[in-house]
Amino acid sequence: MTGPHDRVIAVPLGTSHAESPTEAIINRLVLWNVDLTLVDATIVTREAYADAFRMVTGRPLVKLAPAMGRPDSEIIFETLAINGIVVEDQHLPKFLDALAVSFAAKHKRLAKEGRMMPGAKEALTAVSRLDGAVQSVLTGTIKGNAVHKLTAFGLNKWVDFEVGGYGEEVYPKATLLQVAQGRAKTKYGAPFTAQNTVLIGDSTRDVQAARIGGAAVIAVASGRSMAAELHEAGADIVLPDLTNASEVVAAVARLTSPADRKAG
């Protein structure tokens, strides 16, 4: 007799249902940061921000607030402020819409002017084969732009975007992690907690979000945070990069305990 967490469902790939769905019990949630963990789209992102700023304010962008692992919503507020714009209620939704439009217009440039981080494809592929795992994203990037970034490099096929957390959602990243866990529970029927959720990211903010939000964390020293900083922030495991897919899978397996399995 099966329990509520033994429900059998179809595993989705990409932004919609899988082309050839396989039946599986989903009980591990792997959340990936996007920028400088899986891809680097810095050039296109900066240009999209500049275009969006002009669309919203009618002025050229002089200075863009640094990302530092923060959500687009936070970057937008600071960017407006440091450029002398008195922020009003309508600024954020207008800027988010403009950023989506501008980025979408440039998405074909991503593969040429951006890059996939070393080992990203192999790591996503390997983790997708781990028993009970579903992969999504926890990112400061707004949803549409996150989809464009991963799709440009063919990484979208391993990601269920429906259960992720994104930059247009005005929550601290730790809270956004819990939102993603709730979405995964609603979709897959199993509870997702610190015992079976792992966040893979490259910044100390990612580590802090996992520690506060309730997830294990694998930090990858591929971004602007050094390995020592990631260790000090409290990462469970720190990897130099994603090039050793077996090492990534072993780390995920070690840090997750599927909800329908007994420890031991």
In this predicted structure, the answer to whether residue 244 has a pLDDT above a threshold of 60 is yes
State the maximum Cα–Cα separation within the chain, in Å, rounded to a whole number: 64
Alpha carbons 65 and 95: distance in angstroms, whole number: 14
Looking at every residue in the chain, the average pLDDT score rounds to 89
Q: Which residue has the tokens 């402020």?
A: 81
Residue type, 98: A
What residues have CB less than 8 Å from 36, skipping those under 6 apart?
117, 202, 203, 222, 223, 224
The C-alpha atoms of residue 201 and residue 222 are separated, in whole angstroms, by 9
Q: Is the pLDDT of residue 54 over 50?
A: yes
Which token pair is 176?
Answer: 């956004």
- Kindly tell me if the per-residue pLDDT of 6 is higher than 80: no
Query: What would the pLDDT profile of 59-98 be if each residue is shown by its tens digit?
Result: 999 999 998 888 999 999 999 999 999 999 899 999 999 9
- CA–CA distance, 240 with 202 (Å, rounded to integer): 10
What's the pLDDT tens digit per position in 100-145? Answer: 999 999 999 999 999 999 999 999 999 999 999 999 999 999 999 9
Intra-chain end-to-end CA distance of the chain, in Å: 22
pTM as predicted:
0.88
Q: For 29-39, what is each residue's pLDDT tens digit? A: 999 999 999 99
pLDDT at 132: 94
Write down the number of H helices and E strands in the chain: 10, 9
Measured CA to CA, the distance from residue 88 to residue 77 in angstroms comes to 10
State how far the alpha carbon of 210 is from the alpha carbons of 75, 198, 204, in Å. Answer: 21, 8, 10
- Check residue 199 and give its pLDDT: 98
Residue 69 has a pLDDT of 81
- % of the chain exceeding 70 in pLDDT: 88
Contact indicator for 61, 54 with CB cutoff of 8 Å: yes
- The helix (run of H) or strand (run of E) holding residue 177 is helix 173-188
